[in-house]
Each structure stands twice: as C-alpha cells, then as structure tokens.
Amino acid sequence: MNWLDLMDAFNFIDRAEWLVMALRYRDIGRTVRIEHAKPDKSGKTPAAETGNGYEALLKRYGVVIFGRRATSKYLIFSVKTKQAKWAEYLLLRAGAPVVTTFDRRNAGWASQHSGTLPPAWRDRKDGRR
C-alpha cells in the first residue's frame, strides 16, 4: 500500500462532499477512474493530464464533478449519472486514460476524432443553446 492509498482511505472530507452532493442532486452518481499520467523526462506531468486539467475540461462542457480523490494509480471523481457517458466520451476524445466504461461505443467514436474536442454549447457561433 502506497501513502496515497493510505491517505485516500482516511479522506473523510472528500467522501463527505460526495455524500452532500449526491443528496443535493438526488443522484448517487457514477465514479470515473482515470489512470495517473506518467511524468515526462523532467519529472513533470502535463497540466492537461492532471485532475485539475480533466476537471476544467469537463466543467467547460457542463459536467458536474464531485467526490474527487486520488490513489497511487488513479484519479477518481464522481459525475451525475445522466452525464457519465458524455463525460467518458469527452475524456476519451481528449486522450485521457479512462479505466471505467459506461458505454463501450465511446472508445470507437472518440478514436475517430484523433484528440480533437467537439465545440461546447457556450462556444457556438450562432448563439443558440
């Protein structure tokens, strides 16, 4: 067991946040697991491949994130059940090493776009929502 795994076992604050948000949205949510990105030769992880980078990406598309955690192998967070497939698809299109599978078709669809992301609703040129 790694020290991150031990800290996660006693991470009562984020687990309490998860419970509060689950009650707020009346939705237990789905848990997304992403493998930790491997640091480059300088020992740094690219910003887009951190928990904050993935969270910023999903927030841009309106995905609600709660219950953030990290272990020695995974970045873990919860999303609303209705948004789980969309979140998985976006992360796969961005090239994130997603471990969970909500819709097996997402990997095939995401691979057709070679790392490009769809426009977010708020970025539409015609102003429609």
Inform me whether the pLDDT recorded for 111 exceeds 60. Answer: yes
**Residue 26 has what pLDDT?**
73
**The whole model's pTM is what?**
0.71
pLDDT band at 20 (very low <50, low <70, confident <90, very high): confident
How is the chain split into domains, by residue range? 3-117
Residue entry with tokens 């919860």: 78
Residues β-bridged to residue 31? 78
pLDDT band at 124 (very low <50, low <70, confident <90, very high): low
Q: Identify which of 69, 66, 118, 70 has the alpha carbon closest to the alpha carbon of residue 91.
A: 118
Inform me whether the pLDDT recorded for 24 exceeds 80. Answer: no
Alpha-carbon torsion (116, 118, 119, 121), positive or negative = negative
pLDDT band at 43 (very low <50, low <70, confident <90, very high): low
Starting at the edge strand found earlier in the chain, the sheet holding 65-70 runs: 30-35, 74-79, 65-70
> 3-15 pLDDT, tens per residue?
666 676 677 777 7
The DSSP annotation for the chain comes to: --HHHHHHHT-HHHHHHHHHHHHHTT---EEEEEEPPPP-TTS---GGGSHHHHHHHHHHTT--EEEEEE-SSEEEEEE-GGGHHHHHHHHHHTT--B---S-THHHHHHHTTTT--PPPGGG-TT---
> 54-99 pLDDT, tens per residue?
888 899 999 988 888 877 788 888 888 888 899 989 988 888 888 8
- Mean pLDDT (whole number) for 10-25: 75
